[in-house]
Structure 1
Amino acid sequence: MSAESALRHRFYVEAVLASVTGILAVATLISREWIEIIFGVDPDGGSGALEVGIVVVLAAATLTFGILARAEWRHAHP
């Protein structure tokens, strides 16, 4: 069995989630007003605290999904 076919579906899900959360974290750093623009609300009263929290959570999710995807990759490629 080739290494490519040995990769489980889980690897692809984790890799896509790592990419999406990473892109969203960077987008939040670039434009902190996207929540206000999309939803029309200002939940933190303009302080930016919510955006900082979102970046932290997304960065942690990116790291977690990346580590999980790497473990799947290493499992398929001993």
Structure 2
Amino acid sequence: MISGILFVVTLIWRDWIELVFGVEPDQGSGALEWAIVAVALCATVAFSLLARSEWRRVRGLRTE
């Protein structure tokens, strides 16, 4: 969910880090914001896959 929110915010305000924190780590290019979105998306996918495998493992234990 957070990755989706960050994606939408980054689409609307490409320099939201500068607006929120008052610093310009990427000189206003938006590269840092997109990197944060990419990392959050990768984490979301990874944790979703881990949760799915755990759910299947637990479900398999209940049927035995």
TM-score, normalised relative to structure 1: 0.59
Q: Is the 8 A contact 2:7 2:37 kept in 1?
A: yes
SS of alignment partner, residue 77 of structure 1: helix
Q: Is the 8 A contact 2:18 2:28 kept in 1?
A: no
Q: Which has the higher contact order (CA 8 A, sep 6+)?
A: 1
Segments of structure 1 that go 5 or more residues without pairing to the other structure are: 1-18
Residue number in structure 2 paired with 1:39: 21
Q: For 1:6-63, what per-residue CA distance to the aligned partner results, in whole angstroms no more than 9, with x for missing partners?
A: xxxxxxxxxxxxx444544444344433312221111101111111111111111111
User: Following superposition of structure 1 onto structure 2, how do residues 46-65 of structure 1 map, counting pairs within 5 Å?
Assistant: 46-65=28-47
* CA gap 1:22/1:77 in 2 versus in 1, 3 angstroms: farther
Q: Is the 8 A contact 1:25 1:58 kept in 2?
A: no
Deviates more, 1:22-31 or 1:33-42: 22-31
Aligned residues: 60
Segments of structure 2 that go 5 or more residues without pairing to the other structure are: none
User: Following superposition of structure 1 onto structure 2, how do residues 1-78 of structure 1 map, counting pairs within 5 Å?
Assistant: 19-78=1-60
Deviates more, 1:41-50 or 1:25-34: 25-34
Query: Could you say which structure has the larger radius of gyration?
Result: 2
